[in-house]
């Protein structure tokens, strides 16, 4: 059987799944020095993340609940690393 897409790794929590989706869509990135998640403020990447959440939610999670978790994670992440010096 030909697979066009690799399966996502197993994630233990819905929040972890949402973070993975946001990273996959390019909506968030990790500070290379400290590891904090940072919002890239890219509206197209955010929309891709919501499309992924609604179209391919985890087992036993509704598309609306998956999108809500992605929204909650986005709302909890800032656009700067709290440990990096201000410019």
What is the structure's pLDDT at 6? Answer: 62
φ and ψ at residue 29, rounded to 5 degrees: -140, 165
Adjacent-strand bridge partners of 38: 29
pLDDT > 70? residue 37: yes
**Structural domain boundaries in the chain:** 14-76
pTM for the model stands at 0.81
What is the structure's pLDDT at 44? Answer: 97
φ and ψ at residue 10, rounded to 5 degrees: -65, 130
43, HSE (Cβ side, Cα atoms, 13 Å): 0
């Amino acid at each position: 059987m030909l697979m066009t897409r690799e399966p996502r790794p197993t994630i233990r929590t819905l929040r972890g799944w949402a973070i993975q989706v946001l990273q996959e869509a390019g909506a968030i990135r990790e500070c290379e020095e400290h590891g904090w998640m940072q919002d890239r403020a890219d509206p197209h990447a955010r929309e891709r993340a919501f499309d992924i959440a609604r179209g391919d939610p985890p087992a036993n999670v509704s598309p609306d609940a998956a999108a809500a978790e992605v929204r909650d994670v986005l709302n909890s992440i800032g656009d700067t690393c709290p440990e990096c010096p201000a410019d």
